[in-house]
Amino acid sequence: MKTIISTSPFLHHEATTPKIMWEVVYTLIPVLGVAVYYFGLSALLVSAAAVAGCLVAERLFDKKKKAIGDGSALLTGVLLALCLPPGFPLWIAFLGGMVSIGVGKSLWGGLGQNIFNPALLGRAFLQAAFPEAITTWDLPTGNYWGVRGTNLAMPFFKGTPVDAISTATPLSQLKFSHEVTSTMDLLVGNVSGSLGETCGLLLILAGVYLIARKIINWRIPASILATAALFSGILYAINPQYPTPQFTILAGGLLLGAVYMATDYVTSPLTTKGIWIYGFGIGFLVVMIRVWGGLPEGVMYAILLMNAATPLINRFTKTRVYGHEK
Amino acid sequence: MSTSLIGSLQTFPHGVHPEEYKELSCNRRIERMPFVELYTLPLSQHIGAPSKVVVKEGQKVRRGEMIAEPGGFVSVGLHSPVDGVVHAIDLFDHPNGQVLPAIQIRTDRFSTQQLQLKPVPPEEMTTAGFIKAVQWSGMVGMGGAAFPAHVKFSIPEGKTCKHLMLNGCECEPFLTCDHRVMVEYAEELIDGTRILARFVKPEKVYIAIEANKPDAITLIREKAAEMDFAIEVVPLEVKYPQGAEKMMISAILGEEVPSGKLPLDVGVLVSNVGTAVAMSQYFRQGLPLIERVITVSGTALKRPSNMLVPIGTPMRDVVDYCGGITVPSPRILLGGPMMGMVQKNLDVPVVKGTSGILALTDHEVRDLDTYSCIRCGRCLDACPLFLNPALLGMLSRKGLWEEMEENHIMDCFECASCSFVCPSGIPLVQSFRVGKAMIRERKAK
């Protein structure tokens, strides 16, 4: 008989890092499904390009050649795609994926080391480098097989592709032409916008599922949404020109951000008190940027800013240890 | 097993829910382990100074006779588990991994092993006499730490024991020995508690039992009423580490023991149920601590059992008696799977602090791939002391011992809840053991 030597504990919880990553990816399948329903095959192509960019970068920059198996790069790719417009040029989506992982994660030392959410960092890069492409929105079509011409644009070619029909997202409609989209349209997702942000109802369901499975901390979406609703509610009460709280929550990327982006383990605080501060900060900044900023949308920058504050928050919100005074 | 006896159960904050595996042995009656040829009795089976040998090689000893006396105040007596001859006094493998002095006794094959002992009536004893009697009876805490019982029972000037708590939580998976002891020795348990209460004079007596042992809860309530002894049976939520002293006190009183202090500083004395039974057996029958109940279990074992085993019995004999091991490469451990100690072979003896022998397979113990810390915070939600294991693990990997100490690593009692939940398979509690050892070493310099 040969005994195996190891140390206690000998039992282990079933959750592993790859399993968690994959489970989050599975919850994104319906979100992607709705994106395909509204935006057709383009949605799938953009997602595939962004995922490919992430996986290529992960493989390229990982010396041990094992990180790709943990599912985190795949998750980053899908999340990046979900905050891109459906007619987004595929080569740029691929580049965005490479930047997400290469600059957003590998440069910091790989999984667990980065300060900023990789998917949002990739998107911030795209917003800075390709401001036109990333703000070219179009309406949901009923045509599943129609691939948008803009998807197939080649690098560095000038000129407008033939069938680009640009429209405005609910947030820019509000900001620039003071038109308010109906709550029902925002819930079911029959509006223009990034791939994954239009269908509010589905994002709420996904959030509830992830909370019930204890994969995400409920305090993060709760604090973000409560702060945003409260702050915009106060503004709306003062002056009804401002958007209503329900519009603030449902329009744009706030739900997608609150459920999938801000809840990223690596870039959010560890302590409960820290999480409340973090969530409050995001909710507050989103409304600030949307109402007084130059951009119609502020979720991405709000989360990235609070990501940057996370190490500081962690340092100043130590937990009280059992048997010690506060 | 049913986990909800009443609506909501008292418990402590945080903690984890490992699979219980108690069904393997919880309904098996305690069996007496037959006598074997050779017994090995280490002189250090308790925390504190080793016992002092009082026999010589070749000397005949009776079952229950003292073979080593206390080597100081924080030390206890040691007795022969059989009629036999002192075979050797030498260095032997100890379950803690070291090689330590021990007395080996060869059993007298022709003896009937009949005990010839006299009761030690506690009625006319002074408190000092009681403490000495407990010390010389070889009594230690039977929960696993094996702290000399009389030291715990000595209440210093200025402190009082307001609450006496019997610990029958048994929160470690697989272990069912305390459960069986409560069910099969309920009268001795209450009697032993009564003897202890006579000397420590508590205002209130509790017995804490996890709700997965409903038969023990009911039986002890019945017996206590029958024997007219006021004891509050407190069913607690099934959660690990519910049986840790601090967690049990939190669950029952909602109070915390200040860091670096003892339960007595908040007026609490905690004793394991097995210790209470051993007290009754000593004072009523004169039986010193020469045997104890252990759980022998695990899926690599043919016949999981609860055994009454003489102290010093080689693990090999106990495992063989339980049908032997069925897989080629098991993990053998002494104690529970969360805090137990792995063994390289079956040559070490059962000692006073042994609560179980487990033989586990890959079915329960999965080899984990390790990933980087993703800062998911699961360890913070698991730690019953509200430490920050993610931070402490990072500090330990970097060798930042002082920072670990600032973050209260010395409070950690190594329950391993953090390692249990970590999805990245990071050996957190293992790295804390290293950190604690380094800090102690630096302090010693």
Does the bond joining B241 to the residue before it have cis omega, within 30 degrees of 0?
Answer: yes
A contacts of B371 (beta carbons < 8 Å): 16-18, 70, 111-112
Q: Strand B99-107: give its sheet, edge to edge.
A: B38-42, B99-107, B84-93, B60-61
Interface touch B365/A11, C-beta < 8 Å = yes
* Nearest CA distance, A219 vs chain B (angstrom): 13
Prediction ipTM score: 0.87
Q: Among the three residues B285, B318, B333, which one is the final residue of a domain in this structure?
A: B285
What pLDDT digit, counting tens, does each position of B278-317 carry?
999 999 999 999 999 999 999 999 999 999 999 999 999 9
DSSP A24-88: HHHHHHHHHHHHHHHHTHHHHHHHHHHHHHHHHHHHHH-TTS-GGGGSHHHHHHHHHHHTS-TT-
For chain B, the domain total comes to: 2
pLDDT for position B226: 93
- In this structure, the number of other CB atoms found within 10 A of the CB of residue A293 comes to 15
Please state which of the ranges A142-151, A257-266, A282-291, B261-270 shows the lowest mean pLDDT. A142-151
- Does residue A279 have a pLDDT over 50? yes
Does B154 fall in a domain?
A: yes
Q: Work out the percent of chain B whose per-residue pLDDT is above 70.
A: 98
Please state which of the ranges A30-44, A138-152, A259-273 shows the lowest mean pLDDT. A138-152
The amino acid present at A130, given as its one-letter code, is F
Does B253 fall in a domain?
A: yes
DSSP B248-259: HHHHHH---PPT
Q: How many CA atoms lie within 13 A of B440 on its CB side?
A: 9
Does B159 fall in a domain?
A: yes
pLDDT averaged over every residue in chain B: 93
Would you say B424 and B378 are in contact if contact means Cβ atoms under 8 Å apart?
no
What pLDDT digit, counting tens, does each position of A173-209 carry?
777 777 777 887 888 777 888 888 888 899 999 999 9
Q: Among the three residues B255, B285, B315, which one is the final residue of a domain in this structure?
A: B285
- What is the average per-residue pLDDT within A203-226? 96
- Does residue B404 have a pLDDT over 70? yes
**B273 and B390 share a domain?**
no
Higher pLDDT, A110 or A220: A220
How sure is the predictor about B5, in pLDDT bands with cuts at 50, 70 and 90? Answer: very low
From A12, A17, A319, residue closest to B371, measured CB to CB: A17
- Domains of chain A, by residue range, sit at 17-156, 168-191+216-317
A contacts of B265 (beta carbons < 8 Å): none
What pLDDT digit, counting tens, does each position of A2-12 carry?
888 888 899 99
Q: Among the three residues B285, B304, B330, which one is the final residue of a domain in this structure?
A: B285
* Nearest CA distance, A319 vs chain B (angstrom): 7
What pLDDT digit, counting tens, does each position of B332-378 carry?
999 999 999 999 889 999 999 999 999 999 888 887 888 989 999 99
| A:B CB pairs within 8 Å | 153
**B393 and B263 share a domain?**
no
Beta bridge partners of B100: B92
Q: What is the CA radius of gyration of chain B?
A: 22
- In this structure, the number of other CB atoms found within 10 A of the CB of residue B204 comes to 14
What pLDDT digit, counting tens, does each position of A123-177 carry?
999 999 988 888 877 766 656 666 776 777 777 665 554 444 566 788 877 777 7
- Does residue B181 have a pLDDT over 50? yes
CATH number at residue B239: 3.40.50.11540
Interface touch B331/A3, C-beta < 8 Å = yes
Does B370 fall in a domain?
A: no
> What is the domain range of residue B197?
22-28+140-285
Does B335 fall in a domain?
A: no
Pick from B399, B389, B402, B294: which is nearest to B351 by CA?
B294
pLDDT averaged over every residue in chain A: 88
* Nearest CA distance, B270 vs chain A (angstrom): 17
Does B241 fall in a domain?
A: yes
